[in-house]
Chain A
């Protein structure tokens, strides 16, 4: 790519786009007539779509100039900043795959908002684009301070998206979301300051090589965990997620489940394992226990839900339990499986929230009991819903299966009881997903408002169909992803081994 700073461009393009939208909007604010509101909103959404699509193109370009056969960080851009802190960006197989997920989901989120958001549209798209910059930044940053800034700054737009465009309990939900993540962040900050002091640099590559004293590692590891466990989320710090999802607008839920949760897993793979290998090994049984509890506990809770979004939110926690299991297996199968599970969950849960959004936009309720018999009126919708139901259940042939089986295989090698416990998730996921499907899609139409409900429109098609295609593609050819992530996985394992 010569000297072109593609990572910087990719990271900040959404932010610059957001600024442009604000400027143009401010310049034309005086001249707009009230009747033009709708058209203007469409224009703003279209502009944001173009910006996020361009970002996607840039991320694909970055991916194409990325050499998967090299394990280390690539396309590195580094500029001295202040003392031990530098502006350093770079990608490896792990981050580029999560970046692609982010840049792929963001345009879908914006498109999904086409008809459902009609208040404060400018602010909405600005929040989304800013959020995208921060999300990409989390995955590109190779400097601890830079990472921390992106990691924490991402909270704010998400907080606003839930708090302004959310449902009726949005204030409580966004408060809870903020409180949880903030406490984790504070501990992360303290740990980060200590680490930079000790190692004399905030550079990831320096930190990875620096051997922290095992006693100190424990505390640092716990401080990082506080942040990542909330993000992932792990049991028992998961209770913010169902509320946040229920209150968030559809697109907010998609990006929350699709990308924000992945920051927790990314953090564990980027920091906990390579930088604190002794502590990671020490806490392995605890992490397995928490993963297994998350899988069983939240699956059972999911089954008892009466709200569609809450059910899917709880199912997210269970699926993230598999990620924890795979990461802390410390072996290739487990970690590759965890990465695939994160990408797969991003696609599947994103799609499931879109699917809930489709009927929510029509009926304005998420109560499962309000639905039933949709297949008679919405056969295409029912087809997509079935596909993602099965993907969420982990049916072989979908990406959900590959992630689950590999994380369990990895876990089995590390501790048979962990895989044994996690395997209960295989049963329970079928229970809650099929129950949900049956209550909403099958049966007779009992709610008269459903009599003339329309099937998916073109926009909804365009949002969901690509997710369906990728879910199946990665289900039958997951090697496409493993080829990208194998270098990063091997490097993490090597760093762990080197530290112990």
Chain B
């Protein structure tokens, strides 16, 4: 299979191509576009070849003889019970070496990274191509393509890391690329706000991830995946650096913030907080819808197919940890299930075409997480894989609509586009059928979402039966979300492609708050563009070809890879990259679930379809009337459960308030008793003395906070909680 030199090419070449962007003044935009697109498309072809060859090498028999075919490529690591981890590591150079804290720049290839590399470079290549059309009127094309390639490079570095630190490099690197691309239209307020929000919210997650990595080092004395995960697989005795007794890896108890906790639970929760930020899970999801301020190809690549799935990848990568945690795995299931349902409710009530798809992404990521939470990592990765195709397709299709509609994103001003853009319509239909997971149980007839989503729901049901924490709840939430998914997906199709063309209709008739957002987007993406004067048009070939290729994936990826990812061949396919504890049988038990569990997703999907058809197709206008009549639920959903408002009022205002107090404390209190105070003391000025008693709020607040901190610290230290 792929020799080292080609692996190096796949990972590094996009980074080098991105550097061409620095010289666009000299070499011109076109060269930059050619180099980046050519490089990433080549890398994509190689990675896809690698994936197909890898799957083909499994043979059809399944089981152990398939290993022989792989041995040439993926060298086996130490044995881990029945599941042997097969991986191939190229060490590039040492990065950080301080005592035991060692991290290399490396390229590590195992089944997980083979899948991720194919997804990343495949989608990225198509998005590069698509952008030739979509961004053709942009003045800063070189910058855009360079950022895209930079993103691709960072994402690849993330998935080929052989240690937590390089993973963190990629993790923050994709955050940087995402920040730059969301804020691509830098003169506008909304993209700038959204880009900062994205970066900072991700940093909140990274706060957890960084602490998680520290805890890993603390317990295992290493930040490299190999030693850490092996220790858990084998339950080897580890000696933590301090404050904890030597113990078998799964049972280490450490002291964190004065609490005695199971180290694996702590690590699991902290790492998952990182995943929540990157994958926009409940509480940390607020940045993803706003990220739609970026150009649509970016939304397809970063905010649908790849970057936001990094959290899922992380959870699957460290599956040995979650296999031996109770609360951490339960938290993943709970957060995933809540996100799946929450985002679907909000998605129903949005009118911006991109925001609908964004919430849909958020919801689908929730599915992946609760699947991983109940132990069906394979199903989670499978859904990640198929989702990449149909969600990228939906976004690029939406981009084609926006392009054809001259930068209109409000679905209330669309309609009847099927006749103007038949190919885009077909692509969107395929994407929709794939995302709602249409397919017939007991047969292998269905679009790709059918295979992965049903695998998730069945495994989750099996997990729930086996008393996995929150498993039962996740199944019902997932089922309900499947109903909503079908509803909002068809609503999108009907509002956009069916009925009369309403673009030339009244501009002042939209009800509530997101009027302002869509107006912003419309006006700002292209201020010069006069949106009245055009009829919708089909997009150019360069945009349609990626849609066509992604459509193939959306239709066939599930069928083709079903066996390898979650069925008979899955152990040979994952080759130890995903670890399951001996007592975890969810993937197998899903075959023993009651018959109705198999049919339930189909039923709710059809119900969603019927409801959407009733309100947005046969009785067009009913949906709009329901929306217009308000109602508390609709208000709640369309306002995203008021998360932004709540965060603004508490976290943002609170920090600003503290910042102001501290700042004034610097001036008045520290300087007051310090240098200025020295002068005052010398002069013994009564005037200054009076100033200390002026009764300013910040004054008292500072004293109170300061005193609270001091007394709290004293009490805590006395209680022996100093570590």
The CA of A25 and the CA of B370, in the complex, are separated in Å by 77
Q: How far is the CB of A290 from chain B (nearest CB, A)?
A: 11
For the residues of A in contact with B, the DSSP-based class is: helix
| Pair B192/A443 contact, Cβ less than 8 Å | yes
Within B233-288, the residues touching A (CB, 8 Å) are 241-243, 255-258
Chain B residues with CB under 8 Å of A423's CB are 207, 210-211
Please indicate the chain A residues that have their CB under 8 angstroms from the CB of B663 in the complex.
Answer: 301, 304-305
B659 touches A442 (CB 8 A): no
Given contacts A303-B655, A413-B218, whether A442 and B99 have CB atoms under 8 Å apart is no
**How far, in angstroms, from A464 to B95 measured CA to CA in the complex?**
25
**Residues of A with C-beta under 8 A to B195:** 434, 438
Contact B204 A427 (CB under 8 A): yes
Q: Answer yes or no: A216 CB below 8 A from chain B CBs.
A: no
Question: Looking at the complex, which one of B256, B655, B713 makes contact with A416 (CB distance below 8 Å)?
Answer: B256
B631: which A residues are within 8 A, CB to CB? none
Residues of A within 8 A of B189 (CB): 443
B204-A409 in contact (CB<8A) = no
Question: Once the chains bind, are A415 and B98 in contact (CB under 8 Å)?
Answer: no
- Min distance, Cβ A397 to any Cβ of chain B, angstroms: 6
* CA distance in complex: A179, B676 (Å): 10
Answer yes or no: A261 CB below 8 A from chain B CBs. no
Interface residues of A in 326-384 (CB under 8 A from B): 331-333, 336-337, 373, 375-376, 383
Report the minimal beta-carbon distance from A181 to chain B, rounded to whole angstroms: 11
Contacts of B620 in A (CB 8 A): none
* A408–B96 alpha-carbon span in the complex (Å): 14
B661 vs chain A, min Cβ distance (A) = 9
Q: Is A149 an interface residue (CB 8 A)?
A: no
User: B-side binding surface: helix, strand, loop or mixed?
Assistant: helix
CA distance A435 to B675 in the complex (A): 31
B670 & A336 in contact (Cβ 8 Å cutoff): no
Q: Which residues of A lie under 8 Å from residue B218 when comparing CB positions?
A: 412-413
Q: B674 contacts the other chain (Cβ, under 8 Å)?
A: yes
Closest to B717 in A: A285
Q: Which residues of B contact A434 (CB under 8 A)?
A: 179, 195-196, 199-200
Contact present for A417 and B258 (CB under 8 Å): yes
**Nearest CB in chain B: distance from A41 CB, A:** 34
Cβ–Cβ < 8 Å partners of A285 in chain B: 717, 722
Looking at the assembled complex, report how far the CB atom of B151 sits from the nearest CB atom of chain A, in whole angstroms: 14
Interface string of A215-243 (1 = CB under 8 A from B): 00000000000000000000011011010
Within 8 A of A (CB), among B72-100: 93-99
Chain A residue at minimal CB-CB distance from B167: A396
- Let me know if B172 and A396 touch, CB within 8 A: yes
| In the complex, chain A residues whose CB is within 8 Å of the CB of B675 | 175-176, 179-180, 239-240
Interface core residue of A240, A293, A417, A420 (most chain B CB under 10 Å): A417
Q: A426-B206, A427-B203 given as contacts; is B723 within 8 A of A417 (CB)?
A: yes
Question: Which one of A175, A412, A428 lies within 8 Å of B214 (CB-CB)?
Answer: A412
- B interface, how many residues as a size bin? 35 or more
- A333 contacts B98, CB within 8 Å? yes
Q: Is A402 an interface residue (CB 8 A)?
A: yes
Structural contact, A405 and B165, CB atoms closer than 8 A = yes
Proximity string of chain A (472-497) to chain B, C-beta cutoff 8 Å, 1 when within and 0 when not: 00001111001000100000000000
A334, chain B: closest CB distance, angstroms: 9
Name the B residues within 8 Å of A130 (CB-CB).
Answer: none
Nearest B residue (CB) for A408:
B214
B169 to chain A, nearest CB (A): 4
Q: Is the CB of B204 within 8 A of A333?
A: no
The one of A390, A405, A438, A478 in contact with B192, judged by C-beta atoms closer than 8 angstroms, is: A438
Q: Are B203 and A406 in contact (CB under 8 A)?
A: no
Given known contacts A333-B101, A426-B203, is B196 in contact with A395 (CB within 8 Å)?
no
Ranked 5 nearest A-B pairs via Cβ: A300-B659, A396-B169, A412-B214, A332-B99, A304-B659
Q: A406-B101, A419-B214 are in contact. List 5 more A-B contacts (CB 8 A).
A: A175-B675, A301-B662, A408-B210, A412-B211, A476-B105
Interface residues of B (CB under 8 A from A): 22, 93-99, 101, 105, 165, 168-169, 171-173, 176, 179, 183, 186-187, 189, 192, 195-196, 199-200, 203-204, 206-207, 210-211, 213-215, 217-218, 241-243, 255-258, 655-656, 658-660, 662-663, 666-667, 670-671, 674-675, 678, 709, 713, 717, 721-723
Instruction: List 26 A-B pairs, Cβ < 8 Å.
Output: A179-B675, A239-B671, A239-B674, A300-B659, A301-B663, A303-B656, A304-B656, A395-B172, A396-B168, A396-B169, A397-B173, A408-B210, A409-B214, A412-B214, A417-B721, A427-B200, A427-B204, A434-B196, A434-B200, A441-B186, A442-B192, A443-B186, A443-B187, A443-B189, A479-B95, A482-B97
